[in-house]
């Protein structure tokens, strides 16, 4: 039997963001604003910013390209290359 693990708000928001991208709820060219997502998800803008950065680290390269098109400047802050 698998134990139930408590998730942080950042993890939950990251998973929701990834699901929205992979599921097609968010499409390339859509502008994603942290403030709007934070209000929609019921978390602070700082936590949503962390979720956006985590999503860029965990998502597949194909889906990451979609995310980059939507998030723009947020990715520049995450480093990596």
Which pLDDT value is given to residue 35? Answer: 85
Q: What global pTM score does this model have?
A: 0.62
Q: Among 38, 11, 14, 28, which Cα is nearest to 71's?
A: 28
Which of the pair, 3 or 80, is modelled with greater confidence? 3
Q: Among 47, 41, 45, which Cα is nearest to 20's?
A: 41
SS3 state of residue 56: helix
- In eight-state DSSP terms, residue 23 is T
- Domains (ranges, CATH) in the chain? 9-74 (1.10.10)
pLDDT tens readout for residues 36-80: 888 988 989 888 888 888 877 777 677 666 666 666 554 333 444
Q: Among 33, 37, 44, which Cα is nearest to 71's?
A: 33
d(CA 34, CA 45): 6
């Amino acid at each position: 039997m698998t134990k139930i693990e408590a998730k942080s708000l950042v993890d939950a928001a990251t998973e929701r963001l990834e699901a929205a991208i992979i599921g097609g709820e968010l499409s390339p060219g859509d502008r994603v604003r942290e403030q709007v997502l934070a209000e929609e998800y019921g978390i602070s803008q700082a936590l949503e910013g962390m979720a956006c950065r985590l999503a860029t680290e965990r998502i597949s390269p194909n889906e990451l390209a979609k995310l980059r098109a939507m998030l723009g400047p947020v990715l520049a802050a995450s480093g990596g290359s």
